[in-house]
Structure 1
């Protein structure tokens, strides 16, 4: 049976879910990426078949769904409200071993969102701590170099594109799909100094 590695889990060729029921994730949605990467993600990113749209991950895994109550949702809302909305551009492709991705420019505001969450919940590490420090990225496709060369050729004409980041989404895996739980607006405004 062929297996595809994704987010530290294995996906069988038969399509068995690589995520535990009740897993949660915090992501920045990037709808502007869909026309550029959506077709390739549908073919080469296993998460797309489970309802995951184009995004930059803030933290996976987050707390298990049964542990997220009103107090946690309120805390996340306050945490993300402390960040300003920001602009980001996706100008080119890059790779991790076996993964083609788009790196946001600037990357720092995405990293700051992750640091905020892990400062509050220090036991939670991006991807369970498997890869060291998290690198903000928008996953496009998994495969060997030949596959990724083709994916890169397909998405390159759609670059660059930009997005305005105004929120972070919390989603939960129900055994079949990732479903939205809450959206947290970024709200901090600039304070004019006299």
Structure 2
């Protein structure tokens, strides 16, 4: 979760993410080396909306509105079985990505002043960043190593509000999604 305009973090900046703890074993070492957000305290995640509102605006009414918007969505499973790339970035691709896109759309419909990535991109591509910045040879090496760790599945049951305190990202609140049965339990 870096700022698309400054490639840095600002105190009071917030973001909404889906934590993917199931990915940590596969990506932790790479993220600690090649993802500034990992070194700043952000766990393995897929971004839902970043940047969100300034921390000074995130109070009781916004928390309640987040709970209402997110609580209208069902929990879901994601499968990570392949890597993808943006220029200079290696990521894990969540499938299906439609539930993540619906969360992003619902939040940006409610808070149009907080478009994903500050409106820098015309298309939102849900992804779990593994490495940001190394050259293609390093990205190739990381991708080859990750293939042995794939596939895995993750259950998404909440969206986390993260806040940067000027030094690190901190979990401020978790907003639950409506529980839905797992496909294998029906």
TM-score band by shorter chain is over 0.9
The answer to whether the 8 Å contact 1:81/1:188 transfers is no
- How far is the alpha carbon of 1:151 from its aligned partner? 1.3
- How far is the alpha carbon of 1:122 from its aligned partner? 1.1
Partner of 2:39: 49
1:182 aligns with 2:178: no
Partner of 2:107: 117
The answer to whether the 8 Å contact 1:36/1:158 transfers is yes
The answer to whether the 8 Å contact 1:89/1:162 transfers is yes
- How far is the alpha carbon of 1:10 from its aligned partner? 4.6
Partner of 1:58: 48
Q: Quick one: distance in 1 between partners of 2:161 and 2:5?
A: 20
Q: Equivalent of 1:147, from 138, 147, 163?
A: 138
Partner of 1:130: 120
The answer to whether the 8 Å contact 1:9/1:19 transfers is no
67 and 185 in structure 1: CA distance in 2 versus 1, 3 angstrom threshold: same
Partner of 1:8: 4
- How far is the alpha carbon of 1:189 from its aligned partner? 5.0
Could you tell me the TM-score, scaled by structure 1's length?
Answer: 0.89
Q: Where in structure 1 are there 5+ consecutive unaligned residues?
A: 1-5, 12-17
Partner of 2:82: 92
Deviates more, 1:142-151 or 1:181-190: 181-190
Aligned length: 180
Q: Where in structure 2 are there 5+ consecutive unaligned residues?
A: 182-186
Q: Quick one: distance in 2 between partners of 1:158 and 1:129?
A: 33
Larger Rg: 1
The answer to whether the 8 Å contact 1:29/1:169 transfers is yes
- How far is the alpha carbon of 1:9 from its aligned partner? 4.6
Deviation >4 Å, runs of 4+: none
Partner of 1:3: none
Q: Quick one: distance in 2 between partners of 1:77 and 1:162?
A: 25
- How far is the alpha carbon of 1:155 from its aligned partner? 1.4
1:105 aligns with 2:95: yes
- How far is the alpha carbon of 1:46 from its aligned partner? 1.1
